[in-house]
Amino acid sequence: MVAFACLAEGFGLWADSRASSLIPGKLPELRFASLTISGANDPQSARHTRARSPMSPTFAQLGVPEHVCRALERGGILKPFEIQAAVIADALDGRDICGRAPTGSGKTLAFGIPLVVSVDQAKPRRPRALVLSPTRELADQIASELRSFAGQTKIGAVYGGVGYGVQQKQLQRGIDILVACPGRLEDLMAQNAVSLHEVNQVVIDEADRMADMGFLPAVRRILDQTATDRQTVMFSATLDRDAAKITRDYQHRPVTHEVGEVKPDIEAADHRFWSVDKTERIAACVDVISTTGSAIVFCRTRHGSDRLARQLVQRGVNASAIHGGHAQNRRRRTLQEFIDGRVQALVATDVAARGIHVDSVASVIHFDPPEDQKAYLHRSGRTARAGQKGLVVSLVQSNQVGDTKHMQRQLGLKQPITSPDLSDDHTVPPRPRKQSDQQSKSRNGQGPKRQSQDGRNRSGPKNKNRNGQGPKRQSQDGRNRSGPKNKNRNGQGPKRQSQGRPHRQNRNKPRSGASSR
């Protein structure tokens, strides 16, 4: 009976593909189905994968409307990646999809294009499509990428680290596609700021990381609030037990598309393990960053990230730290400066780096060792993305050699632990920087950026005041003064200091290049 069912279903799928080939403008397709005896009576056990076409189709051939194709072309997106070519047609057909694709494979467009094409207009506080993301940074990047080709479709994002008021107002105005982190979304639902009852399209991005971060119970509660006849699309780097439970409980006969190797392709990057003393690590970081042009440097703690960023700046590297202790606006600004090439090195903790999805990162440096092999793979996956090359350098101290060799055996990495050496011709190209007048000059074109004691980038030369009339001087009370010592604000005579009122010590130090008042 099982064999007969398999044969019948296979014949039906063949007939469907023959019929579709006769429809003008639609690509013929052939799906292969396989049923296991243990799940022969369970419709969820069916797994379908689209057969690879000898020639990659265009977006138009996949059914993407012309105006969306033009918007993609304006953004320099001309051909679909493998995961996009596999997923888009099924998503436009309304099928549930279970996709396994590594980070950097282009899956945002794989689910984003069908959402933009098919989403209905939303009412206030009632979005029609929902994308769930594990981190703030990833949610922000997804929303930004969707807006680049969405046209009149309203895209919004809600996540922690931002005031509720702003997000409540945008929900009230109406959002067609809502990108959200589970925690903040549940908070807004509890405040009756948003209702999910009219959501008929749901995307769960990076389900494996959702599980690692403990978000799956919240994801389940959120899915229970959406329309029962919704389309559910899930992407995960691994289709393990946790992802299988979501498929079993919330998807209906999903089409499964798997792209890339089951295990991360660690051979895509050049892995180096350097034996260094504690005092040599910073110099090694500087060598790697100056050679490759851009890097993400991993530290174990927030304090360590801030300290290392300051130390790199002191050695001439334009570096910034990013971690959960920073406000969301600062994290967003730092990440954008790194994307634009204004920051060479991003010094990050593991948790903050979960939301970093930036192509063309030339190198990754393990300043502090990863906790385990999974953390090593995740860190190292920030480089050598989307077919590019990359360099991964681990700085190994003498007391870390044993743990490092154990991790190498688990990952199948056979590189020896050597002295720091980049003398060979490394082929990692520097990350292309944004061509602008601000690339190597300050806002006024007076010099390169410098960093103040609080770790923030400052524009302009250090010893010039706003009008470029001379260096700042510091009064006895510690406040910066611009201009000649014995002139008051109008230049009419010396300043007079009150004898009875003590000077306020809690004022913030003013920006360099701006006079104090």
Tokens 């509720």 sit at which residue? 164
Phi, psi of 66 (to 5 degrees): -65, -40
Give residue 374's pLDDT: 82
Confidence at residue 329, expressed as pLDDT on a 0 to 100 scale: 86
> What local confidence, expressed as pLDDT, does residue 359 receive?
78
Q: Which long-range contacts (CB under 8 A, 24 or more apart) does 380-384 make?
A: 380/266, 380/269, 380/271, 381/102, 381/103, 381/104, 381/264, 382/296, 382/353, 382/356, 382/358, 383/269, 383/296, 384/265, 384/268, 384/269
**Dist. CA 244–CA 230, nearest whole Å:** 18
Classify residue 152 by its DSSP letter: T
- Say which residues have a Cβ less than 8 Å from residue 151's Cβ, sequence separation at least 6: 67, 68, 71, 116
Q: At what angle do helices 182-190 and 216-224 cross, to 10 degrees?
A: 40
In words, the CATH class of domain 266-418 is alpha beta
Interatomic CA distance for residues 456 and 510, integer angstroms: 12
CATH architecture of the domain formed by 56-258: 3-Layer(aba) Sandwich (3.40)
Q: What is the 3-state secondary structure (H, E, C) of 126-150?
A: ECCEEEECCCHHHHHHHHHHHHCCC
What does the block give as tokens for 463?
């010893």
Residues of the chain with CATH 3.40.50.300: 56-258, 266-418
Query: For residue 214, which amino acid is it?
Result: G
Type of residue numbered 125:
R
Mean pLDDT by groups of 10 residues along the chain of 517 residues: 42 40 36 31 41 70 95 93 94 95 83 97 97 92 95 96 94 98 97 98 92 90 97 87 88 90 71 96 96 95 96 97 87 91 94 74 96 88 83 96 95 94 59 40 42 48 48 50 48 48 43 38
* % pLDDT > 70, the chain: 68
DSSP string, 415-438: --EE-----S---PPPPPPP-STT
Element (H, E) at 287: helix 281-292
Residue burial 327-349, b: 16+ Cβ < 10 Å; e: rest: ebeebbbbbebbbebbbbbbbbb
CA dihedral 464, 470, 474, 475 (to 10 degrees): -150
pLDDT of residue 265: 64
Beta strands in 150-209 (DSSP E): 155-158, 177-180, 201-204
Task: Give pLDDT, residue 199.
Answer: 98
pLDDT score for 480 = 52
* DSSP one-letter string for 391-404: EEEEEE-GGGHHHH
Burial of 379 (0-12, 13-18, 19+ CB in 10 A): buried
Token representation of residue 348: 């990050």
* Tokens representing residue 416 in the block: 């020896």
Termini Cα distance of the chain: 88
